[in-house]
Amino acid sequence: MTVLRDLPKLASGKVREIYEGPDGTLLLVASNRISTYDVIHPTPIPDKGSVLTALSTFWFERTAGILSNHLLSVTDGVPDEVRGRAMLVRRLEMLPVECVVRGYITGSGWKDYQATGAVSGIELPAGLRESDRLPEPLFTPSTKAEVGHDEAIDFEGAVELIGDRELAERVREVSIALYQRAADHARERGIILADTKFELGLDSAGALTLGDEICTPDSSRFWPADQYEPGRSQPSFDKQYVRDWASSTGWDRTPPAPPIPDDVVARTREKYVEAYERIAGEPFDAWLRRTDARPRP
Ligand code: PZK
């Protein structure tokens, strides 16, 4: 049996870690940490890491026909203590671009559109409002910053970084297809997937492969469809209670973030679980049981 402390830790992100698994594999572990305004709160959201892992697994299974992915297992080889919130994956040679796809105009895309009328070098119609649906999903890549924020680039910038125009064209094509598949599915279940970020790589045979997490609330914007109203910023499906509460405290968004009160934690946990249950169409407990994350009765 594998225990986490026996695995070398390769990297720590703000909300997750990567370990070296058996036989050249990697173990991606999602924590229960949550950030607002890019700052991690000291209070965890119970089950957040499991919900994100469950969602990625759901999408990996349902998009494998578009692009193969790095997922190997969420049970075999996964240490007991992280069951439910960890996946064993194949090691890839990651491409040096973030594959952002936008179906709606918001965030930095909205900022760029207001300043230039274009996003990622793509001219857009005049008169778009904040949060409007785009005429078609756009591939708007960015660089991978080691520290600080990724920088938006146009498709030619992605071609240069990837170093192969045909590969970059395939990256753009599959990124849009993956977004389309996930966004259509989520929309039918009352969640607007406004935009998302994929990380692609090459496997040991040189095949283009989907890595990292896919269409989770940490890599995407989830909006409640029944509250969608263009012309303003949209509430976040998952983080809105934390943001509203944090704003009400007068916190100025500089570190350290304040601890989150119990009722806000509980309501936020429920929103993550609700997102999983709506999208996957099964009780979240079914995931925990399938991954042996909870003792069986
Ligand atoms: C890889 N990251 C980002 C994720 C972190 C950092 N299949 C892969 N092969 C090689 N490298 C990566 C992956 C994946 N996925 C992903 N960094 C490297 C990342 C999670 C936690 F600290």
Q: What is the mean pLDDT of residues 38-57?
A: 98
Cα separation, 173 vs 167, whole angstroms = 10
Give yes or no for residue 40 CB within 6 A of ligand 1. no
Give yes or no for residue 293 CB within 6 A of ligand 1. no
Whether residue 297 is predicted with pLDDT greater than 80 in this model: the reply is no
Q: How many Å separate Cα 269 from the centre of its chain?
A: 17
Q: How many Å separate Cα 102 from the centre of its chain?
A: 13
Average pLDDT across the chain, whole number: 97
Give yes or no for residue 92 CB within 6 A of ligand 1. yes
Compute, in angstroms, the gap from residue 89 CA to the centroid of ligand 1: 9
Q: What is the mean pLDDT of residues 16-21?
A: 98
Question: Which pLDDT value is given to residue 85?
Answer: 98
Confidence of residue 296 (pLDDT cuts 50, 70, 90): very low
**Count of beta carbons in the 10 Å neighbourhood of residue 46:** 14
Compute, in angstroms, the gap from residue 153 CA to the centroid of ligand 1: 22
Give yes or no for residue 172 CB within 6 A of ligand 1. no
pLDDT digits (tens, 9 = 90+) for 151-170: 999 999 999 999 999 999 99
Give yes or no for residue 26 CB within 6 A of ligand 1. yes
Give yes or no for residue 11 CB within 6 A of ligand 1. yes
Q: What is the mean pLDDT of residues 239-262?
A: 96
Q: Which amino acid does the sequence have at 266? A: A
Q: Which of 12, 15, 19, 26 best tests ligand 1's pocket when mutated (most atoms within 8 Å of CB)?
A: 26
Question: Which pLDDT value is given to residue 295?
Answer: 58
Q: What is the mean pLDDT of residues 35-53?
A: 97
Would you say 239 and 38 are in contact if contact means Cβ atoms under 8 Å apart? no
Give yes or no for residue 197 CB within 6 A of ligand 1. no
Q: What is the mean pLDDT of residues 278-296?
A: 90
247, HSE (Cβ side, Cα atoms, 13 Å): 6
Question: Which pLDDT value is given to residue 2?
Answer: 82
| The model scores a pTM over 0.95 | yes
Give yes or no for residue 13 CB within 6 A of ligand 1. yes
Whether residue 294 is predicted with pLDDT greater than 60 in this model: the reply is no
Confidence of residue 146 (pLDDT cuts 50, 70, 90): confident
Compute, in angstroms, the gap from residue 66 CA to the centroid of ligand 1: 21
**Count of beta carbons in the 10 Å neighbourhood of residue 186:** 23
Confidence of residue 145 (pLDDT cuts 50, 70, 90): confident
Cα separation, 101 vs 138, whole angstroms = 5
pLDDT digits (tens, 9 = 90+) for 196-214: 999 999 999 999 999 999 9
Question: Which pLDDT value is given to residue 201?
Answer: 98
Compute, in angstroms, the gap from residue 43 CA to the centroid of ligand 1: 24
Nearest CA to ligand 1 atom 6: 13
Confidence of residue 288 (pLDDT cuts 50, 70, 90): very high
Question: Which pLDDT value is given to residue 69?
Answer: 99
Distances in Å between the alpha carbon of 37 and those of 4, 244, 250?
30, 12, 13
